[in-house]
Amino acid sequence: MTAIVPQDAATTAKAETAAGTRNSELVAAATRARQKAYAPYSLYTVGAALRSTDGRIFIGCNVENAAFSATNCAERTAFFTAIAEGVRDFEAIAVVGAPAGASPGTRLSCSPCGVCRQVMAEFCDPDHFTVLLARSLETPEDHQAFFLRELLPQAFAGEATRELER
């Protein structure tokens, strides 16, 4: 019988601290990206920061248009920028959204729309890709973390189209 050896508590704490720091840095990058948003119609500005598996960070912001269907969300802007750079492997995205001019103490609640979740499902492992949702403009450590599968449990994936071809 193989014994299960518990991981050293100090090693576990260091790993959790490192992951927490990396996630907080990603939320901070999304907060900065939000400042670049163009949202003259909704007055709701969103920033996103997408981290690839090689550690690069791609930012995006929402860009609105008078023809609303031409609007692009921050999350998709970040993904499309990374894809245009040839990157296809991702580990996490942070999303920060609030009304334009919101004070730093504003409590946030901004989750990716269905289309953005579907784009994530196209490129990310739903059981490992992390979606970070900021809860504060002033404290990057204050965020919620979800795996993509929690936000999109029934994703339409490439496998579904291949099944239809059979």
Query: In this predicted model, what pLDDT tens digit does every residue of 7-59 receive, in sequence order?
Result: 444 433 344 455 778 999 999 999 999 999 999 999 999 999 999 999 999 99
DSSP-assigned letter for residue 70 = G
User: Which residues span the domain enclosing 88?
Assistant: 15-165
Q: Quick check: is 4 in a domain?
A: no
Residue range 71-84: mean pLDDT, rounded: 98
Q: Quick check: is 7 in a domain?
A: no
Element (H, E) at 47: strand 44-52
- The one-letter amino acid code at 52 reads S
Q: Record the pTM.
A: 0.84
Q: Quick check: is 119 in a domain?
A: yes
- Domain of residue 60, CATH code: 3.40.140.10
Residue 165 scores a pLDDT above 90: no
* pLDDT value of position 46: 97
Distance CA 90, CA 105 (A): 31
122 is catalytic: no
Q: Quick check: is 5 in a domain?
A: no
* pLDDT value of position 109: 79
Total tally of structural domains belonging to the chain: 1
In the set 75, 85, 159, 165, the catalytic residue is 75
Q: Quick check: is 6 in a domain?
A: no
* pLDDT value of position 17: 57
Residue 84 scores a pLDDT above 70: yes
Q: Quick check: is 87 in a domain?
A: yes
Q: Quick check: is 96 in a domain?
A: yes
Q: Quick check: is 35 in a domain?
A: yes
| DSSP β-ladder status, 130-134 and 90-99 | parallel
Residue range 82-107: mean pLDDT, rounded: 94
* pLDDT value of position 4: 42
Q: What is the mean pLDDT of the chain?
A: 87
